[in-house]
């Protein structure tokens, strides 16, 4: 019996894959922080079934292919079956064949373009019906119908723009320009785009620029002295982390749609923000990606408590349909798609680098990654 | 066994499907195994199938990934030595399994072989392994391709639906009429239906939005 007891106190080993270096570290580092915070909270409370969670973390250095190789290393050499990680869709798609072939489970805490539902992934970031839809409606109601698209050149921005273009057209709007920049873009790459924007005078600049380049886009805008009250940059990816990188004054007045902002008022969020600041410093802010990274570890721990095994098939069946009182509000993993039902919020950046929440859903919005239940229902109310 | 069964299979019609043996001819194979009598038998049998065979030993840090088929000696760290990530293999893989030395089931599973070839080899065992490996590898690759196309079709269907709605509203077409219009245009122009649909949707936007013909 003593041998058995010894066996059951062995830690649960889990994989963590976020870039702490390279151009994506500005946000992925906060996802890493959110993940570790939740792991420590669970361990401090006695672990799961009396066993501690032990993270094995690698830094893919913002290289998409490195995610695939490190996922292979985690699953084969480290014998880990559950991995928390990935921000960009390119990195998710690099990990996908590995977890699908070896039957692992990837927990993906990032908004993405939808049109995917792998049996080996739990999606805890927003899909388009949980952010693009409300953002499009809000922008058309308050600013106008002519949109200019700027994005980083990889899967997510192009697919996300495809969805936004369709929403716009359905509701009588138009795309007056569409430009893509390298994920390694520098500030000067945005100068010709800003000239183009000044010439075309769109009502809204819709940005899917991610990572370090985000700051250069907003700075180029600010340098031209353009006015966010008339022509805001609207984004699904600019969080408190990117605002901090560009400067609070540069970000002020611009719009982001997200499931979570640090300013959400709830007991659960209050505790999360306090714990985050206590651990990482008073001047750092939480954001939607850090929050999803945080609550998905808690969702995982709840399911593991029931399953008492990291076996993907058993664990996944416990995760599907489960709920958690997350900082953004109660979230539930939709059993059909493995995507979380999340809240929809529109925020406007203020002078303090935080978002004032100017619109929000009354409840969590059902995840609809394939946009099956929308169409006529989204028709512009105006 | 009757005489009829002993006879070699009749040659196929030129226009018919290639026989399994014909499909194997001219494929390249890498055999990662020590040079011994067993390996010679394996190489000889593969060559008899008219495959181009290269033998490699000692076990390299990274197994060559440029052949159609790789025969590779089992090793506890074989998965790590494969030059691809699981789920994205570039060659069919046959793992050579020792006759009596114990092997780790996890290590074998992680290598995700398409077939195994246990020692000692026989001509039939070699033939079975190559047929099975090619068949499994090909089938998995076709399924992956099919999923990719399904993903793409899923997205383009939305565009086709939108184009259909525009045609129905602006040209007073019936639903089936609108679909066949898109199909016919695609055939005439030798492009995909989704490309035609995208062009219709784009031009509708360019020509301007008219409340009275709003397909919504």
CB contact under 8 A, A96 and B205: no
Q: What residues in A contact B87, CB-CB < 8 Å?
A: 96-98, 100-102
Query: Does residue B202 surpass a pLDDT of 90?
Result: no
B169 touches chain A (CB under 8 A): no
Taking one residue from A and the other from B, the number of pairs with CB-CB distance under 8 angstroms is: 59
Q: How far lies B17's CA from each of B14, B117, B138, B188, B202, in Å?
A: 8, 28, 16, 31, 44
ipTM of the complex: 0.75
Q: What is the pLDDT of residue B84?
A: 94
- The average pLDDT across A235-260 equals 95
Do you find a cis peptide bond into A341, omega within 30 degrees of 0? no
- The average pLDDT across B133-151 equals 91
Q: How confident is the model at residue B6 (pLDDT cuts 50, 70, 90)?
A: very low
CB contact under 8 A, A116 and B151: yes
The fold of B150-213 is: Arc Repressor Mutant, subunit A (1.10.10)
DSSP-derived secondary structure letter, B19: P
Query: Does residue A4 surpass a pLDDT of 50?
Result: no
Query: Does residue B17 surpass a pLDDT of 90?
Result: no
Percent of chain B with pLDDT over 90: 54
**3-state secondary structure (DSSP) of residue A113:** coil
**What contacts A368, CB < 8 A, 6 or more positions away?**
A114, A127, A129, A337, A374
A99 and A190 together in one domain: no
**In whole angstroms, what separates CA A33 from the centre of its chain?**
14
Percent of chain A with pLDDT over 70: 95
Residues B73, B59 contacting (CB under 8 angstroms): yes
Q: Among A48-57, A166-175, A227-236, B113-122, which stretch is predicted with the lowest mean pLDDT?
A: A166-175
Do you find a cis peptide bond into B58, omega within 30 degrees of 0? yes
B184 touches chain A (CB under 8 A): no
Residue A279 structural domain: 2-125+265-341
Q: Which two tokens stand for residue A134?
A: 């409300």
Distance from CA of A284 to the nearest CA of B (A): 37
B residues 94-153 closer than 8 Å to A (CB) = 106, 109-110, 112, 151
CATH of the domain at A365: 3.40.50.2300
Based on DSSP, count helices (H) and strands (E) in chain A, helices before strands.
13, 15
A143 and A132 together in one domain: yes
Query: Does residue A6 surpass a pLDDT of 70?
Result: no
Radius of gyration of chain A (CA): 20
Q: What residues in A contact B201, CB-CB < 8 Å?
A: 169
Is the overall model pTM greater than 0.95, yes or no?
no
Q: What is the pLDDT of residue B11?
A: 53
Q: Among A234-243, A275-284, B147-156, which stretch is predicted with the lowest mean pLDDT?
A: B147-156
How do the domains of chain B map onto residue ranges? 18-121, 150-213
Query: Does residue A153 surpass a pLDDT of 50?
Result: yes
The whole-angstrom separation of Cα A322 and Cα A21 is 34
Q: String of b and e for A69-95 (b: at least 16 CB within 10 Å)?
A: bbbbbbbbeeebbbbbbbbbbbbbebb
CB contact under 8 A, B85 and A75: no
CB contact under 8 A, B155 and A115: yes
DSSP-derived secondary structure letter, A79: -
Query: Does residue A375 surpass a pLDDT of 60?
Result: no
Query: Does residue A352 surpass a pLDDT of 90?
Result: yes
Q: Which of B75, B81, B87, B155 to mutate to test binding with chain A, by most A CBs within 10 Å of its CB?
A: B87
A292 and A161 together in one domain: no
CB contact under 8 A, B86 and A75: yes
Picking from A72, A371, A376, the nearest residue to B85 by CB comes out as: A72
The whole-angstrom separation of Cα B69 and Cα B132 is 11
A28 and A160 together in one domain: no
Query: Does residue A241 surpass a pLDDT of 60?
Result: yes
A259 and A269 together in one domain: no
CB contact under 8 A, B151 and A72: no
Query: Does residue A68 surpass a pLDDT of 50?
Result: yes
Q: What is the pLDDT of residue B9?
A: 54
Picking from B85, B86, B205, the nearest residue to A169 by CB comes out as: B205
Query: Does residue A274 surpass a pLDDT of 90?
Result: yes
- Pairwise pLDDT comparison (B192 vs A310), residue with the higher score: A310
Q: Put the strands of the sheet holding A329-333 in their side by side order.
A: A323-326, A329-333, A340-341
- The average pLDDT across A222-241 equals 94
Q: Count other Cβ atoms within 10 Å, centred on residue A372.
A: 11
Q: What is the pLDDT of residues B83-92, one digit of tens each?
A: 999 999 999 9
Q: How confident is the model at residue B29 (pLDDT cuts 50, 70, 90)?
A: very high
A200 and A251 together in one domain: yes
Q: What is the pLDDT of residue B91?
A: 96
Distance from CA of B201 to the nearest CA of A (A): 9
Nearest Cα residue to A84 out of A256, A259, A292, A241: A292
CB contact under 8 A, B79 and A76: yes
The fold of B18-121 is: Rossmann fold (3.40.50)
- The average pLDDT across A170-185 equals 91
- The average pLDDT across A97-123 equals 95
């Amino acid at each position: 019996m003593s041998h058995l007891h010894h066996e059951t106190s062995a830690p649960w080993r889990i994989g963590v894959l976020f870039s702490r270096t390279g151009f994506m570290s500005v946000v992925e580092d906060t996802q890493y922080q959110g993940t570790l915070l939740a792991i420590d909270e669970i361990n401090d409370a006695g672990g799961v079934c009396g066993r501690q969670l032990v993270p094995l973390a690698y830094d893919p250095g913002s290289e998409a292919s490195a995610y695939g190789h490190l996922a292979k290393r985690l699953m084969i050499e480290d014998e880990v079956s559950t991995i928390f990680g990935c921000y960009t869709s390119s990195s998710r798609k690099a990990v996908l064949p590995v977890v699908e072939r070896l039957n692992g489970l990837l927990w993906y805490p990032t908004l993405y373009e939808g049109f995917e539902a792998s049996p080996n992934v739990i999606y805890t970031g927003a899909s388009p019906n949980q952010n693009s839809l409300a953002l499009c409606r809000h922008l058309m109601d308050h600013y106008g119908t002519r949109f200019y698209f700027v994005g980083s050149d990889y899967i997510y921005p192009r697919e996300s723009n495809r969805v936004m273009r369709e929403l716009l057209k359905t509701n009588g709007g138009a795309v007056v320009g569409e430009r893509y920049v390298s994920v390694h873009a520098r500030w000067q790459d945005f100068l010709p785009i800003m000239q183009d924007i000044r010439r075309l005078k769109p009502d809204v600049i819709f940005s899917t620029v991610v990572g370090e380049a985000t700051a250069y886009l907003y700075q180029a805008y600010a340098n031209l002295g353009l006015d966010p009250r008339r022509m805001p940059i609207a984004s699904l990816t600019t969080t408190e982390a990117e605002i901090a990188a560009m400067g609070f004054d540069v970000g002020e007045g611009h719009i982001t749609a997200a499931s979570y902002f640090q300013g959400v008022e709830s007991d659960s969020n209050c505790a999360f923000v306090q714990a985050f600041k206590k651990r990482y410093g008073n001047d750092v802010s939480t954001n939607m990606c850090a929050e999803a990274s945080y609550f998905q570890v808690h969702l995982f721990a709840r399911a593991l408590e029931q399953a008492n095994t990291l076996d993907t098939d058993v664990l996944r069946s416990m995760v599907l349909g489960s709920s958690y009182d997350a900082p953004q509000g109660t979230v539930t993993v939709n059993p059909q798609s493995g995507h979380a039902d999340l809240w929809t919020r529109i925020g406007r950046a203020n002078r303090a680098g935080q978002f004032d929440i100017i619109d929000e859903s009354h409840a969590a919005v059902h995840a609809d990654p394939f946009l099956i239940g929308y169409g006529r229902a989204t028709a512009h109310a105006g | 066994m009757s005489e009829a069964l002993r006879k070699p299979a009749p040659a196929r019609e030129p226009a018919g499907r290639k026989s399994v043996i014909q499909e194997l001819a001219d494929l390249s194979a890498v055999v990662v195994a020590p040079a011994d009598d067993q390996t010679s038998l394996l190489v000889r049998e593969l060559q008899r199938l008219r495959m181009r065979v290269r033998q490699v030993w000692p076990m390299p840090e990274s197994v060559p990934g440029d052949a159609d088929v790789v025969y590779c000696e089992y090793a506890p760290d074989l998965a790590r030595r494969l030059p691809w990530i699981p789920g994205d293999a570039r060659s069919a893989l046959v793992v050579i399994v020792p006759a009596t030395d114990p092997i780790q089931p996890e290590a074998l599973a992680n290598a995700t072989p398409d077939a195994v070839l246990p020692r000692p080899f026989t001509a039939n065992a070699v033939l079975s392994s190559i047929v099975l490996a090619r068949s499994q590898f090909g089938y998995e690759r076709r399924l992956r391709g099919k999923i990719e196309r399904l993903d793409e079709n899923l997205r383009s269907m939305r565009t086709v639906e939108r184009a259909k709605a525009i045609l129905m509203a602006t040209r007073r077409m019936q639903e089936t009429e609108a679909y066949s219009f898109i199909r016919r245009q695609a055939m005439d122009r030798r492009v995909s239906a989704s490309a035609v649909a995208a062009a219709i949707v784009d031009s509708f936007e360019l020509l301007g939005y008219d409340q009275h013909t709003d397909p919504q």
